[in-house]
Amino acid sequence: MRRRTYKVVTTAVLVVLFVALGCSISETSISKINENPRDYDGKSVHVTGKVTEIFSLFFIKYFVLRDKSAEIVIVSKKPLPKVGQTIKVGGVVREAFSIGDQQMIVIVEKP
């Protein structure tokens, strides 16, 4: 009886951990972020894509990440990846600037 209870409790704990981890690492398509920036502003996301550009000047570092749907700028304090590299990035969605009907949405990479 105790052995069965132990198995049930262990299984329940593993399922809860799996669901919690799965929710925190699920990926968002870049086009969804770009199409609905208000829904994502200030929220943590994970995106995967290919690095197409890099830029570094003094304290400003960013790179452009493209997935199958679109591209977005990733602002980072980490060493920059290489162009052509496919990576997964976690960060917070922010509006970099807005002028008239034009806006730039970025992801600020988590340190």
Q: What is the pLDDT of residues 15-50, one digit of tens each?
A: 444 444 444 458 999 999 999 998 999 999 999 999
Q: Is residue 17 part of a domain?
A: no
Q: Average pLDDT for residues 64-85, to the nearest whole number?
A: 94
In the structure encoding, which two tokens stand for residue 5, read together?
């209870």
Tokens 């870049």 sit on residue = 30
Which has the closest alpha carbon to 55: 47, 46, 65?
Answer: 65
CATH code, domain with 60: 2.40.50.140
Q: Is residue 47 part of a domain?
A: yes
Q: Is residue 13 part of a domain?
A: no
Q: Is residue 46 part of a domain?
A: yes
- Alpha-helical runs (H) found in the chain: 2-24, 30-35, 37-40
Q: Is residue 9 part of a domain?
A: no
**CA atoms of 77 and 69, how far apart (whole Å):** 26
| Statement: residue 52 has pLDDT above 90 | yes
Domain count, the chain: 1
pLDDT at 45: 96
Q: Average pLDDT for residues 72-87, to the nearest whole number?
A: 95
Q: Average pLDDT for residues 77-95, to the nearest whole number?
A: 95
Q: Is residue 18 part of a domain?
A: no
Angle at 65 (CA atoms; ends 62, 71), nearest 5 degrees: 115
Q: Is residue 68 part of a domain?
A: yes
Q: Which pTM value belongs to this model?
A: 0.74
DSSP classification of residue 81: P
Q: Is residue 3 part of a domain?
A: no
- What is the domain extent for residue 46? 28-109
Of 23-37, 42-56, 68-82, 83-97, least confident by mean pLDDT is 23-37
Report the percent of the chain where pLDDT is more than 90: 57
Q: Average pLDDT for residues 78-103, to the nearest whole number?
A: 90
